[in-house]
């Protein structure tokens, strides 16, 4: 078994801890704003507007939003860093679903979960991913398929979404 797979298996048993915005209800005005902004990422992507979640993703103390979508055999995660009044463009990553690609998600119905960043990935990977900052108040976005879990986090060095599995 490779080190990445072992790390993912080990982390799957960790408890998810909520951060400041993780349990906050997203009001209908914010939902509409988030959905309007992610449309710029591609008209063919079907966004799951019912599953928009608030979180503290980029560790700036402001409420951020995450939504997932699909187009064909691709799964998309879009994050809008807050506050929404700033008009920030969405940041996005996407993964193939059910293909033989190394970065493909398993299964047909991946789901996102809001997770805590209060852990040290070096315990599982042997080193910290670039820009990962352990935090008791910030969130990562976990993508769960039918096998390996992906951990999306704010890369404090590059100023973008990064991930590890």
**42-83 residue pLDDT tens:** 999 999 999 999 999 999 999 999 999 999 999 999 999 988
CA distance 145 to 97: 9
Q: What is the reported pLDDT for 21?
A: 58
CA 98-104-109 angle, 5° bins: 50
What does the domain layout of the chain look like in residue ranges?
3-164
Question: What pTM value is reported for the model?
Answer: 0.83
Q: What pLDDT, in 10s, does the model give residues 94-116?
A: 999 987 788 888 888 889 999 99
């Amino acid at each position: 078994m490779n080190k990445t797979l072992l790390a993912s298996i080990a982390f799957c048993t960790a408890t998810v801890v909520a951060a400041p915005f993780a349990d906050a209800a997203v009001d209908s005005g914010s939902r509409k704003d988030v959905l309007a902004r992610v449309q710029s990422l591609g008209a063919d992507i079907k966004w799951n507007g019912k599953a928009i979640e608030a979180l503290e993703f980029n560790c700036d103390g402001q409420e951020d939003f995450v939504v997932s979508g699909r187009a064909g055999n691709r799964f998309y995660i879009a994050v809008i860093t807050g506050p929404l009044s700033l008009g920030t463009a969405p940041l996005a990553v996407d993964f193939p679903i059910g293909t033989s690609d190394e970065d493909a998600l398993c299964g047909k119905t991946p789901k996102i979960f809001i997770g805590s960043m209060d852990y040290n990935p070096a315990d599982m990977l042997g080193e910290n991913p670039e820009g990962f900052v352990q935090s008791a108040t910030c969130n990562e976005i976990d993508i769960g398929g039918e096998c390996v879990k992906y951990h999306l986090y704010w890369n404090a060095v590059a100023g973008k979404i990064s991930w590890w599995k």
